[in-house]
Amino acid sequence: MRNGFTIKLAESILLAGLLAIVGFTLLLNPVTARSMGKGKQVIHMNASNYKFTPDNLRFSKPGPVTLAVENISDYEHNFTIKNSKGQVLKSVDLPPKKKIMVTFDLPEPGKYEFYCDIDSHARLGMKGQIQVGE
């Protein structure tokens, strides 16, 4: 009886360890989100000190996009996105521990840079890009 319990316990610990490793691996790998249709889908993004996760998105076609950007840190951040000409399409502040829905239009194929416009956060790594089209 006692041995059976010990084995069950060992199995549980092993399983928990495995799950932790898998979770950690997923966290560390940069995610590339892909979408096919025009922007009905909501893509979740985390903002932390000092990065966005995922920081690299790809859409097959131009159109509206909604990001649910969750600031998981204790500090104020911001999400600003520019078009390929450097014009700001949208700039939204992200209060600590809040999830903000950010909707904007990606009007044409190309590369769109986004970043946090607070202090030197972008230089510290708080930036990313969205590719539309091929």
Asked if residue 32 lies in contact with residue 56, where contact means CB atoms within 8 angstroms, the answer is: yes
DSSP label at 30? P
Q: What is the dihedral sign for C-alpha 12, 17, 20, 22?
A: negative
Q: How far is the CB of 19 from Cu ion (least distance, A)?
A: 31
Which of 118, 125, 127, 131 forms a contact with Cu ion (CB under 5 A)? 118
Q: List the interface residues with Cu ion, window 41-100 (CB under 5 A).
A: 77
Alpha-carbon Rg of the chain, whole angstroms?
A: 19
Check residue 116 for interaction with Cu ion (CB under 5 A). yes
Q: What is the dihedral sign for C-alpha 36, 40, 41, 47?
A: positive
Q: How far is the CB of 94 from Cu ion (least distance, A)?
A: 8
Applying CB under 5 A, the site for Cu ion has a residue count of 5
Considering the complex, state which of residue 100 and residue 118 has its C-beta at the smaller distance from Cu ion: 118
CB atoms within 10 A of CB 42: 13
Q: How far is the CB of 77 from Cu ion (least distance, A)?
A: 3
Stretches 4-12, 13-21, 51-59, 117-125: which one binds Cu ion (CB under 5 A)?
A: 117-125
Q: How far is the CB of 50 from Cu ion (least distance, A)?
A: 6
Stretches 2-10, 80-88, 100-108, 120-128: which one binds Cu ion (CB under 5 A)?
A: 120-128
Give 46-89 as a DSSP string: EEETTEEES-EEEESS-EEEEEEEEE-SSS-EEEEEE-TTS-EE
Given the rule CB under 5 A, which residues bind Cu ion?
Answer: 77, 116, 118, 121, 126
